[in-house]
Structure formats: structure tokens, C-alpha cells
A and B are shown apart, each in its own frame.
Chain A
Amino acid sequence: LAKTTQPISMDSYEGQEVNITCSHNNIATNDYITWYQQFPSQGPRFIIQGYKTKVTNEVASLFIPADRKSSTLSLPRVSLSDTAVYYCLVGDPSGYSTLTFGKGTMLLVSP
């Protein structure tokens, strides 16, 4: 299983762009990178998933370099409601992969 490393916490202000980087040095060929968001008293919620280069949806962008040993979740113009814990997961979606959560990154957005 590919282990992931993320910053424990990050601070930002409303309207700024936030980039959270995740390291996964031993990612396997078939592994995809997935990010989840968790608010207090709720289960994690899927944000975005990618394999290489760049993926963008209505919520975020995911940048993955050619060596795939890291990935960066980019949140454009954050608001107070983006305050949450963000988890990076690595796994093979084609098999019965066991999805392991790390400690995540606590993002605090201030006015």
C-alpha cells in the first residue's frame, strides 16, 4: 500500500487559493490519487480523483507531476465553508484495494 504524507495543518484567508501537497513516493503503476474532504460530525466526502497531469472539476483541481510521487490539491478562492480536514488517498480502483486514510490536513480559513 502506498503511504501518503501531508501537512498537518494549513491556514488561509477567504478569497485566496490554497494548495495542499501530498507525497506518495511508493505509488504503484495502477494506483489513482483521490482526495476527500471531511467536516466535523460528517463522513468524508469525495472531492477529486486523478491518475496523471491535471484534473479539474467544479470544486478543485488536482495536479500530478510526471513521476506521480506527489500530488497537489488546489482550491481556488476559498471561503469560510472550506474549513475542513482534507485527506489524500492512493489506491488501485480496479481491484479490491484497501483504502487507507492518513491523518489528513486541517485547513482553517479565516475572514
Chain B
Amino acid sequence: EAGVAQSPRYKIIEKRQSVAFWCNPISGHATLYWYQQILGQGPKLLIQFQNNGVVDDSQLPKDRFSAERLKGVDSTLKIQPAKLEDSAVYLCASRYNRGTNEKLFFGSGTQLSVL
């Protein structure tokens, strides 16, 4: 079974530039998450999709971050303009959820450095 694919693996940009991350979840997984993980901390949920609808985006800084999941499959997360404090690993996850057996499958993440 193919895992969650993310690209790029690394990205270095200057502050005020824009950047986009891409995620392809496991086939058939309806729920997709974007997490931000700052060095030394646990992943922080940015946004959760159920198919192509947003379930939770309460922690997404909407003045600069945006995300979409057209057609309920692939998703993109964009930052515009980037700030120094956005330097982090951005993780995409999709959920296997049948009855009471819930698992998140994570991609390897995109490491973003904002200079």
C-alpha cells in the first residue's frame, strides 16, 4: 500500500515570499490533515478536511495560510507571505477510520526554512 506522499521534501525561502506544499493521501482516505511541527514540539493541527470540505481550521493563520483539497483527494497548503516563525516541518496525514479503529498515516513532511 502506498503511503502519504508529500513534496517538496525541503524548501528554503526568504521572508515575505510565498510557498506551497503538496500532499497526496492514501487512496480511499476521506480525512486529510495538515500539521505544523516546530522543532522540539509536537505536531500542531492547522486544518482538517473531510473529503473536500473543511472540518476544522480554527488554528490556521488565515491571514497568510490557505489550504484546499479540490476533488477530495490531493491537497495543497500555501503560505503567503512567509514569516521567520513559519520555519517548521509541515506534515500531511490521512486517516484510516472504520468503526472504532482509527489510525493516522503521516507523510515524511516538508521542512521549511524561512530566512
Contact = CB atoms under 8 A, between A and B. Distances in A.
Given A42-B108, A43-B108, A96-B48, A102 B102 contact: no
Contact of A34 (B50, B56, B102, B109): B102
Contact of A32 (B31, B42, B100, B108): B100
Nearest to B41: A103
> By DSSP majority rule, is chain A's interface helix, strand, loop, or mixed?
loop
A41 B108 contact: yes
B107 interface: yes
Interface stretch (A20-28, A45-53, A63-71, A76-84): A45-53
B104 A44 contact: yes
Interface residues of B, number: 28
Interface string B18-61: 00000000000001010100000111110010100001100000
A87 B42 contact: yes
Contact of B101 (A45, A49, A97, A104): A49
Interface of B: 4, 31, 33, 35, 41-45, 48, 50, 55-56, 91, 93, 97, 99-109, 111
28 contacts: A32-B100, A32-B102, A34-B102, A34-B103, A41-B108, A42-B106, A43-B91, A43-B106, A44-B43, A44-B91, A44-B104, A44-B106, A46-B103, A46-B105, A49-B102, A85-B42, A93-B102, A94-B100, A96-B31, A96-B48, A96-B50, A96-B56, A98-B55, A99-B33, A99-B45, A100-B45, A101-B43, A104-B42
